[in-house]
Amino acid sequence: MRERLCAPARKIGFFLCAAALCVAGPMAAQDAPEPPQLEFAFEIQVQVADPVVVAHLPGGQTRRIIDILGGTVVGPEINGEVVPGGADWQLIRQSDGFTDIDARYTIRTDEGHLIYVSNIGIRHASPEVMQRLNAGEVVDQSLIYFRAIPKFETGAPGLDWLMKHVFVSSGERYPNGVVIRFWKVL
């Protein structure tokens, strides 16, 4: 009796799977969905201190900290300043200069609202370019991949959209500063 009950169930399961494959089908490259759109949110220009090398670690990495001295915030919906006191805690591979970015700082809007920013990302280029960049030299920014995913925290009325969206950012590193542009993923 058990086999008689299982056989129809197996047939139904097979037909359900086959129907699902016919409806969904394998996705071809030309059928790929459209990517999400990006909307420019704001740009910050930050002045930074000289890097402090904490340690050359046994795994071939260097831990360094770069203090954030202050800066400006300009955008269609947010304008203000970067409050002094944040920092970027970097982990740099000595072999090629690949850098893990962990920047944390605070923005004060022109209205006096505070926004905590945690910007986690990566920066890399050819080993030669990274060596020059990490030595504080001016380099062509188009040769460097510098991207991060920021998260924001604020209790400010009207700024909760910062916590209700995913953002991406793109950075440029100069000898005494960083320019970061933020886009909201729609």
Is the pTM here over 0.75, yes or no? Answer: yes
**Beta-strand relationship, 114-124 and 166-174:** unpaired
Q: Position of tokens 């086999």?
A: 3
The answer to whether residues 80 and 107 touch, using CB atoms and an 8 Å cutoff, is yes
pLDDT tens, N- to C-terminus, the chain (186 residues):
444 545 544 554 544 444 444 455 556 667 899 999 999 999 999 999 999 999 999 999 999 999 999 999 999 999 999 999 999 999 999 888 899 999 999 999 999 999 999 999 999 999 899 889 888 889 999 999 999 999 999 999 899 999 999 999 999 999 889 999 999 999
> E strands within the chain?
38-48, 52-56, 61-74, 79-93, 99-109, 114-124, 145-153, 166-174, 177-185
CA dist., res. 126 & res. 138, Å (int): 15
